[in-house]
Structure 1
């Protein structure tokens, strides 16, 4: 969890500028046409769970990294929406094992969520929450010989619930900035040379910022 506070500080700092701009802007649009679709491109940092479990029979410590993110939302009305969210890139996770073994793996999550946006579409700041389902493809597992005697260490696909909380900061009626945090609840079976060798409760937080457009 040593990157948690750093990730939250980055998200807060990047969110502050568009929020201030949105509140001080004197430019408004006369376009009252409802916007039913939105896309957001951004960057997020993954913070895995502390003490997640064992890999290759050893207690594991996980350290996440950042990756680009992309989402698209169909807005049923001004409050409800359905979001498809994922990463065009992959999150890398570094692994330290209790016996001194080290390794890493990559994962690429994708999720579908229902969202509820509070307030009115025209207000400067709109908080939102979401709940849905995700799966995260894991590949690129690389561990040194200390981890499992040179045998291949693999992790199965984690899947489960995803919860989201965030806020949009309106710059114009079409362009906005976003800050959000997502919690992914899911376990992954670890195996050594294809034989089960522990379970890892990944359960990461993903803290991100981005810029979006409505259509």
Structure 2
């Protein structure tokens, strides 16, 4: 009887050890599927251009600095999707036109962007994690101030996005992020310049294509 009791105790101990070992192995292979980042982002517009009807010329769009929030979901440790949210105000001018430089006031842009990403791991410790991404954005133009003309209308538009960046883990939950994106944005603009000449309406095709350079912090959960 004593031998049977000892055998049962030994078997129980082996079972507990095996279960604990399995739990540890599963926990070691777990990864957090969600992460959120908050960045400070410089919106730089060095490549803006326009085809302006009637009066010709080009366009100048100011740079901006904004907060940006994004959410990322990992399908696997390498493949993820990221939703990027931020809005920026820009001052706009038509320059070198037949009427000289024309103040077109200001406009707010809201371009929610969804990218598909591939994440790399440079070591088994997974401290430094670069990534690349590409996707789509849909830009909303709102709160337009018309400046020196009667009115300006911008058409909302679908565009593209490319992304490159890295996460630097501080621990298993928090990290620092550096990110660069290029958005490819085009919009049809109608300028109501009837205050300058009766019935004057000026169509334009504007390419904005801003760069977004960001640094921030993030959290996995």
- What TM-score range do you get, normalising by the shorter chain? 0.7 to 0.9
1:140 to 138, 143, 168: 143
Q: Quickly say closer, same or farther: Cα 1:166–1:115, change in 2 above 3 A.
A: same
Cα separation, 2, equivalents of 1:55 and 1:68: 32
User: Match of 1:197, SS?
Assistant: strand
Q: Is the 8 A contact 2:48 2:208 kept in 1?
A: no
Alignment of 1:39-188 (within 5 A): 39-54=36-51, 57-87=56-86, 90-98=87-95, 99-102=100-103, 103-119=105-121, 122-145=125-148, 150-188=149-187
- Counterpart in the other structure of 2:213: 207
Per mean C-alpha deviation after superposition, the further-off stretch among 124-133 and 112-121 is: 112-121
Does the C-alpha gap of structure 1 residues 121 and 94 become closer, same or farther in structure 2, counting only changes over 3 Å?
Answer: farther
Q: 1:121 to 1:112 in 2, by over 3 A?
A: farther
Residues 187, 121 of structure 1: alpha-carbon distance in 2 compared, 3 angstrom cutoff:
farther
Scaled by the length of structure 2, what TM-score is found? 0.74
Q: Does the 8 Å contact 1:64/1:91 carry over to 2?
A: no
What is the alpha-carbon distance in structure 2 between the residues aligned to residue 140 and residue 54 of structure 1?
23
Change (3 A) 1:31 1:174: farther
Tell me the secondary structure at the aligned position of residue 100 of structure 1.
strand
Q: SS at the partner of 2:47? A: coil
Q: Specify whether residues 69 and 51 from structure 1 end up closer, same or farther in structure 2 by C-alpha distance, changes over 3 A only.
A: closer
Tell me, which stretches of 5 or more residues in structure 1 are unaligned?
Answer: 1-29
Higher relative contact order (CA 8 A, sep 6+): 1
Q: State the alpha-carbon separation in 1 of the partners of residues 157 and 209 from structure 2.
A: 9
In the alignment, the residues of structure 1 paired with residue 213 and residue 92 of structure 2 have an alpha-carbon distance, to the nearest angstrom, of 20
Aligned partner of 1:13 in structure 2 is: none
CA contact (8 A) 2:48 2:209 kept: no
Q: Give the Cα separation in 2 of the matches to 1:163 and 1:121.
A: 27
In 2, are the aligned partners of 1:153 and 1:192 still within 8 Å (CA)?
yes
TM-score scaled to structure 1, two decimals? 0.76
Aligned length: 180
In the TM superposition, residue 31 of structure 1 has moved relative to its aligned partner by 6.6
The CA RMSD measured in Å over matched residues stands at 2.2
Gaps of 5+ in 2: 1-26, 194-200
